[in-house]
Chain A
């Protein structure tokens, strides 16, 4: 029983009560992923499972046996920031920074969802195969990530800067 975290094999904890979030932070020392509410309300603990965003606080680690998890530590490669990390710096997409790892993981997966044509609450035409990524779409799709400092405008700017007007293109 093991899962892959940022490319590294990790044993599934014996106690099934251990959440994926606690496995990451307390046992693997991957403290980039943050514990905010611990009840699925704030999004600070957002990580990627095979590219899909989830909240790791409500995930029992044992349910992710055999799955590939990417955390904020796994996004940057070869000593270079992920383009979205750089964009967050360029656009003041944070103040205290506590929500930032979750925001960034969430936005990376969000763009994948848009590319796939997943509709949101503000998508007007459900039959359309392509979704235009405007500011309303970004705000709605990122509503699972709260920022107590209120850096939302910078966050939206950073997402547009990194992923451009066309989410069809790969960001990196």
Chain B
């Protein structure tokens, strides 16, 4: 690990000020950043610890939730209002990592966790445009069973590893940011970038910009929501494919729907096309399949991951059928 300066912060403004002065990175639970620093893939000269503030989950007047960025993953997953109003979010969080890691990891850090592409981690032996822009990508023709089928580029085929982000993408979550230039808000679906020519730039955040909170809008449809994750082991593995979904059916027809995919792209993939194909249509498996096909029409397999297209199709159909069959 490269030496670095460490400092705490009393609040968001203090953290932003300190980061601006030193060029520091923000440190949450450390479950990803500390690991990457130990591998010397990340070499920050300074860290500002942002776990000491913004740790509350607060119900808003409009019945949405404001989640402080330093809230631990476990605290969010077990929150009574999350479990009852946004079950997809609890399901997604507890489908990820382990209890120990969820106890440490903050939700702000979860949003910014980096890919687990093994070529990205293999600093000594592999080329990676995400690690060293312009170097080339050894995953493109390498062992790419876990890699992207949607929105990838020749420069990068890595996937975003977060489960929580897939649920947040489906829930129309808003990210609150603070920087020396002031505060702003951003839909979660606009936070992460597709790789394009610059896979090293993973989000639209400006240098020094700090995530302070995540806002969940009041979303009655999310009461009937769920998360289905397909992985190589029954527990503690990243997703091959995952689907977050919420469904509202009236008289056998789909009034409204939310759908997002994980494990398939450089960003949590909101399935806008499938949603559009479903609204107003009869809630049938044939319809679910047609919507999945619409979403996956742009999917492009690599050498080893063609199975993901069919797996994503089946997983979308399965979770929608499950939600359609649930009692209200």
Contact = CB atoms under 8 A, between A and B. Distances in A.
Nearest to A120: B94
B104 A59 contact: yes
Contacts of A43: 98, 100
A116 B4 CA distance: 38
Given A119-B78, A121-B94, A60 B83 contact: no
A134 to B, nearest CB: 15
Interface in B11-32: 27, 29-31
Interface centre among A59, A63, A144 (most CB of B within 10 A): A63
Interface centre among B4, B29, B83 (most CB of A within 10 A): B83
A120 B101 CA distance: 14
A126 B100 contact: no
Given A40-B101, A119-B90, A143 B83 contact: no
A127 B90 CA distance: 11
Contact of A39 (B3, B27, B35, B97): B35
B100 A39 contact: no
A153 to B, nearest CB: 16
Contact of B6 (A60, A127, A143): A60
Nearest to A106: B100
Given A63-B49, A106-B99, A55 B104 contact: yes
Contact of A52 (B49, B84, B103, B235): B103
A121 B78 contact: no
A110 B102 CA distance: 12
A102 to B, nearest CB: 9
B167 to A, nearest CB: 13
Contacts of A141: 99
Contacts of B84: 126-127
B171 to A, nearest CB: 15
B143 interface: no
Interface residues of A, number: 36
A112 to B, nearest CB: 11
A55 B236 contact: no
Interface string B69-111: 0000010011000011001001100110111110110000000
B91 A126 contact: yes
A117 B78 contact: yes
Contacts of A19: 34
Contacts of A62: 6
A141 B97 CA distance: 11
Contacts of A38: 38
A43 B235 CA distance: 14
A46 B3 contact: no
B235 A58 contact: no
Contacts of A77: none
A126 B90 contact: yes
B104 A58 contact: yes
A144 B35 CA distance: 16
Contact of A60 (B5, B30, B74, B98): B30
A139 B234 CA distance: 10
B3 A17 contact: yes
Interface of A: 15-17, 19, 38-40, 43, 46, 52-55, 58-60, 62-63, 106, 109-110, 113, 116-121, 123, 126-127, 139-141, 143-144
11 contacts: A17-B3, A38-B38, A40-B100, A58-B101, A60-B30, A113-B99, A119-B77, A121-B94, A121-B235, A143-B234, A144-B100
